[in-house]
Amino acid sequence: MKKTVFLFVIASVAVSLAAHSFFLYEWAHDRYMTGNGDGLAQMIIFKSFLFEQYKQGNFFYSYSFGLGGGIYSQLGYYFTTSFVFIASFAAVFLMQLLHLAGDADPLFWAQAAVFISVIKLSLIILAAAYALNGMVKNKLAAFTGAVLYGTSVIYFRHTVFWEFFSDAMLWLPLLVAGAEKVIREKRTGLFITACSLTLINNFYFAYINLIFIAIYVIFRWLIRLDPEKEAPRWKQFKMFAASCLISFGISAVSFVPAVYGFLNNLRPPYDQSVAVYDLTDNILFSSRIVLLPAVFMLFLFAFSFYKNKTFRLFASISVLLVLLHYSPLAASAFNGFSAPQNRFEYLLAFTIGGAAAAGMTELKNIRRKEMIWSILLVLLIYIAVIWRKDLDLSLMQNWSIVVLLFLTIAIFTAAGFQYKKSQLFLHVCILLSSVLVANTYQKYILSESSGIKNVSKSYLTSNEYNGEEQRRLLNNIRKDDNGDPYTRVDWMNGVRNNTPLMQDFNGFSAYSSILNRDLLLFYWEDLQIDMGRESVSRYASMGDRANLYSLLYGKYYMTEKNNAAIVPYGFIKTDESEHYTVYKNKYTLPFIRTARTVFTEKDLADAPVLAREHAMLEGIVLENGDNGKEQPPSIPDLMKQMKLKTEGASYHNGVLDVTAENGGIDLIPEGGLPKEGDYYVGFYLKSLAKDQFFNLRVNDYVTSRKSNQSIYKTGVYDLTIRVPKTDKISIRLPKGKYQLDHLRLHQEDYQLLKKAAAQKAPAADLDWQNNQVSIIFDNQNGDRYMVLPVPYEKGWEVTVNGKTQTVQKANYAFIGFPIEKGKNDIRLVYYPPYFKATLAVTVISLIIGIWYGRRRKKLGS
C-alpha cells in the first residue's frame, strides 16, 4: 500500500509538471500564469492583501479594503477561507521566516502561480484517482481517468483567469468517494469531511458541487453497482440528510458570514431572456470550456461497455452534463438562477474521467467488430463537424484531430494484440495526449488568443500596472501627511479599482463580486456618485465632488497630468512627477465628527443630492430619526435660467437623437456665472439601442455606460455630474437615440463646506487595532451623535461608557451612534455577521460529526 501511494504521488506530480510545461517555460522567461483581466485586477492583489492581513493577525475587518469592509463577508467568495490559499500562506510565511522569500506582493503571487497550480493539480489527480480506484478497482485505469479530469481544459481556464475556481475540483472527487462510502459501507465520516471542506472553502462552488452530488446519488439509486452490499435507499437518504446537516453546522462559522455577504450584495435582477438551448459551442475541436477526449467518444459508442454498471453510471451522467452544457438555462441554474455562466463543466470532466476509467477495464472484453463500428461512428461525427462551414480550424483544433488519430491507432493496437500486452501502451497514449492537449490549449488559447503572454515582469513593474513613479508619489504623500493611518487618497491606475490594495494606501475604490449593499446604494441612488465606469461589482472615486471627499476623510487626489481639468474644488497642487500630479484638500473634515442636528432619509427622499450633501455637512442623516424636526436644506433648481441648444442632434419629448459623431445638447446660463464653485447637472439617461456600449462626456468629464445586454449593467439611469464653473455645459454622446429627460441643475458655492472645515475639530483619542476601535472623547458641546467614515455593516457592536448602544446607519452608508454629554469612553468591535453564534454551532456540530462518524463506522463494520 505504501509503495502504491508513493507511486501515485510521484506519477501525479510528474503528470502535473508535464501538463504545466508551457507555463513553466513562460515563467523562466518572466511571463506568468495569471489572467490579464481578473487575474491581475483581483486574484494576485487579494492574495497579497490577505497575506498581509493574516500575517498581522487580522482576520475580520480592514479599513483599507475599498472604503472599509469585512474580510469574511466581502472576500469569502475569493480566498478568505480557501484551504489552498491558507496552505500557500503557511508555506510562504515559513519561507519568509527562513529568509527564503521576500515581500509577498502581487508580483510575488504572479510568479508563484504556476508552482501553486502544479501542486494543486497533483492533489486533484490524487484525489480523483483515489475516488475512481474505489469504483473501478484498477489502479492504472483510475489514475488515467483522474489525469483526464485534472488536465481538462477547464482546469487551466479556471486557474488562469479565476484561480480559486479550480479549488472546487479538489473537493469533488472526495465528495463522490464519501458518497460511495455512505452507499456501500454505511459510513459517513468521509462524506461529512468532504462536504464540510467544500462548504468552508467556497460557498459558491459548494452550491455547484452539492447539486452534482444530488444528481450523482439519484443516478446511483437508479444504477446500483453492488446491490447486495448497498444500504436501502431510505436508509441512505437518512444518512445523507444527517451528514449534510452536520456538515453545514461544521462550516457555519465561515459559510454563514460568506452567504450573508452574498445576500447583502446588490445585483440588479437579470432581466434578459434565457434560452433553453444554444448549440454554437464546438466541444470536439474549439470550445474554450470543455473538449471531449477522443477516448471518451470511442468508449461512448462501444455498446458492450454499458454492461459495466460503473461505466453506465458515468457515461449517463456525462451525456446529461453535455446536454446541460448546451443549455443557457442550466448555466443560469448553476449560477444561482442569475446570468448564464459556464462554470460547472468541471463536473463533466470528472464524469468523463470516470467513464474512461471504467471503459478501460472493459477493453479486454470488447469484440473487434464492435470496436470498428465505434471508431467509424466517431470518425463520422468528427468529419461531420469538420465539414461545418462556420468551423474555423486553428492550430489548437488541428492538434485535437492528431490526438484523435493517435488514440484511434492505440485502440486498434489494443484490439490486435492481447490486452495485457497493449494496455500499458494505451494508457501512455491517453496520458501523453492529455498533456499535449493541455499545453496546446495553454499556448494557443490562453497565452496567444487571451493575451496571457503579456502578463510579464516588465508589465507588472510598469506605470501601466504598479510603477515605481506612482509608488514614490504615494510615499511622499505619507511623509506630507505625517503617517496618518486613516487618510484616504483618490488614486486609481487606469480602470484597476483595487489599486489601493496593490499599492498599500487607503483609497476610494474597490472591485469585487461581493460588495457592501449600503455602499452601492450610496453610490447608485442616495448620492448618485458617478464612478467613471458603470459596473455592478465596482465603486470608485467620489465623482470629483469636494463635499464627499471632505466628509470621508479624503485628503489627497492623484491623477495623470492630462486629467488636471477635473480636479475637485478646494484641492491644491502639492507634488508632481513626469506623468502624475498630487493635490491636497484644503477643507478636510475631522475623521471623528459629532452632530446635534439630525435629518432622516425620509425627510430628504425628494431633495436633490446636493441637499443631502449639505445635510451631512450640517449634521447627521439617519435611516430612522426624529421625523419632522429639521427641514431639509433648500437647493434651488436653475434649469429655468438655462438656455438649451442642440449640437449635431435633435431633441423632442425627452428623446435625444444624436446624428453627429459627438453630438448632444448644451446648457447655457442666462443669468451670469457664479464667482466660484461648481454646477451639479443631473438627468435620466438611457440608450434606446438594443446593444450599445457608449461614453458620456460632460465638458471635460467622461464616464462609460454599459450596453442594455450587459450582465454587468447597474440598471441605474439617474446621473449627477459635477461640472466646474463654466459658461456652457455640454452633454455629448455618440450617434444613436437616447432617452434624456428630468434635467436638473444646481449650484454649489461651498460656503457650507468652508464653515464646517473652519470649526475646531473635537478633541478625541483614537486607537484602531485590527477589528477593534477605541475612542476617548469629551463631548463638551453636548452633541447627540458621533459619525465615522466607516461603512455600516452588520457585525459592528458599540459600547459607550460601558453601556451597549445600537450602531445606526448614518449618512446613508456609514456608522453612527448616540453619545453622552461629557466624557465618552467608546469601544467599537467588529466580528463577521453571526460569528459568535455560528462559532458555537461549528464546535457543537464538529463534536456531533465525530460521534456520528464513529458510530456509523462501528455499525457499518
DSSP track, 64-102: TSTT-EEHHHHHTTTTTT-HHHHHHHHHHHHHHHTTS--
Q: How far apart are CA 544 and CA 209, in angstroms?
A: 45
Q: Is 663 exposed, middle or buried (0-12, 13-18, 19+ CB in 10 A)?
A: buried
Return the residue matching grid coordinates 480557501.
Answer: 82
Indicate whether 582 and 612 sit together in one domain: no
Cβ(563)–Cβ(557) below 8 Å: no
Return the sign of the alpha-carbon dihedral for residues 458, 461, 465, 469.
negative
Residue 393 has a pLDDT of 55
Q: How far apart are CA 561 and CA 581, in angstroms?
A: 6
Q: How far apart are CA 283 and CA 693, in angstroms?
A: 30
The helix (run of H) or strand (run of E) holding residue 14 is helix 2-19
pLDDT digits (tens, 9 = 90+) for 475-504: 999 999 988 999 999 999 989 999 999 999
Q: How far apart are CA 85 and CA 81, in angstroms?
A: 8
Q: How far apart are CA 305 and CA 399, in angstroms?
A: 28
| Single-letter residue type at 715 | G
853 falls within a domain: no
Residue 400 has a pLDDT of 60
Q: Choose among 420, 425, 434: nearest CA to 361.
A: 420
Interaxial angle between packed helices 139-150 and 168-180, expressed in degrees from 0 to 180 and rounded to the nearest 10: 140
Q: Count other Cβ atoms within 10 Å, centred on residue 260.
A: 20
Cβ neighbors of 825 (< 8 A, separation 6 or more) are: 776, 800, 801, 802
Cβ neighbors of 726 (< 8 A, separation 6 or more) are: 673, 679, 699
User: What is the CATH classification number for the domain harbouring 689?
Assistant: 2.60.120
pLDDT digits (tens, 9 = 90+) for 733-764: 999 999 999 999 999 999 999 999 998 877 88
pLDDT digits (tens, 9 = 90+) for 256-294: 999 999 999 998 888 788 899 998 888 888 889 999 998
Q: How far apart are CA 317 and CA 313, in angstroms?
A: 6
Residue 211 has a pLDDT of 96
- The CA angle 358-362-363, to the nearest 5 degrees, is 120
Cβ(661)–Cβ(675) below 8 Å: no
Which one-letter DSSP state was computed for residue 444? I
Number of structural domains, the chain? 4
775 falls within a domain: yes
Cβ(419)–Cβ(364) below 8 Å: yes
Q: Choose among 512, 505, 520: nearest CA to 558.
A: 505
Q: How far apart are CA 817 and CA 756, in angstroms?
A: 20
Residue 760 has a pLDDT of 83
Which one-letter DSSP state was computed for residue 641? G
| Single-letter residue type at 45 | I
Indicate whether 117 and 259 sit together in one domain: yes
Indicate whether 20 and 151 sit together in one domain: yes
Cβ(8)–Cβ(109) below 8 Å: no
Which one-letter DSSP state was computed for residue 162? S
Grid cell digits, residue 744: 436638473
529 falls within a domain: no
Indicate whether 195 and 328 sit together in one domain: yes
236 falls within a domain: yes
- Strand extents, DSSP E, 226-348: none
459 falls within a domain: no
Q: Count other Cβ atoms within 10 Å, centred on residue 836.
A: 10
Which residues face 683 on adjacent strands? 719
Q: How far apart are CA 300 and CA 287, in angstroms?
A: 20
Q: How far apart are CA 846 and CA 819, in angstroms?
A: 42
Q: Choose among 260, 210, 217: nearest CA to 237.
A: 217
Which residues face 378 on adjacent strands? none
| Single-letter residue type at 603 | D
Report the relative pairing of strands 701-705 and 61-62 from DSSP bridges: unpaired
Indicate whether 158 and 10 sit together in one domain: yes
User: Three-state SS for 203?
Assistant: helix
Domain of residue 802, residue span: 595-633+762-830
- Strand extents, DSSP E, 545-691: 554-560, 571-576, 580-585, 593-595, 598-600, 620-622, 642-647, 649-652, 655-658, 663-669, 678-687
700 falls within a domain: yes
Indicate whether 800 and 669 sit together in one domain: no
Indicate whether 226 and 271 sit together in one domain: yes
CA distance from start to end of the chain: 21
Q: Choose among 26, 16, 17: nearest CA to 446.
A: 26
Residue 399 has a pLDDT of 60
Q: Is 155 exposed, middle or buried (0-12, 13-18, 19+ CB in 10 A)?
A: buried
361 falls within a domain: yes
Indicate whether 249 and 348 sit together in one domain: yes
The helix (run of H) or strand (run of E) holding residue 386 is helix 368-386
Indicate whether 436 and 397 sit together in one domain: yes
User: Three-state SS for 408?
Assistant: helix
Q: How far apart are CA 730 and CA 736, in angstroms?
A: 17
Which residues face 539 on adjacent strands? 510
Q: Choose among 706, 746, 731: nearest CA to 656.
A: 731
Grid cell digits, residue 394: 486553428
Q: 392-396: long-range contacts at Cβ-Cβ below 8 A with a sequence spacing of 24 or more?
A: 392/286, 393/285, 394/286, 394/444, 395/440, 395/444, 396/285, 396/286, 396/440, 396/441, 396/444, 396/445
The helix (run of H) or strand (run of E) holding residue 860 is helix 835-860
Indicate whether 743 and 810 sit together in one domain: no
Q: How far apart are CA 283 and CA 653, in angstroms?
A: 50
Cβ(357)–Cβ(144) below 8 Å: yes
Indicate whether 437 and 484 sit together in one domain: no
Indicate whether 615 and 483 sit together in one domain: no
Backbone angles phi, psi at 546, to 5 degrees: -60, -40
Question: Which residues in the chain show pLDDT less than 50?
Answer: 395
User: What is the total residue count of the chain?
Assistant: 861
Burial 539-554 (b: 16+ CB within 10 A, else e): bbbbbbbbbbbbbbbb
Query: Which of 393, 422, 451 is a domain's end point?
Result: 451
Cβ(69)–Cβ(830) below 8 Å: no
Residue 814 has a pLDDT of 97
Q: Is 424 exposed, middle or buried (0-12, 13-18, 19+ CB in 10 A)?
A: exposed
Backbone angles phi, psi at 747, to 5 degrees: -115, 135
848 falls within a domain: no
Cβ neighbors of 314 (< 8 A, separation 6 or more) are: 351, 352, 354, 355, 357, 358
Grid cell digits, residue 279: 448549440
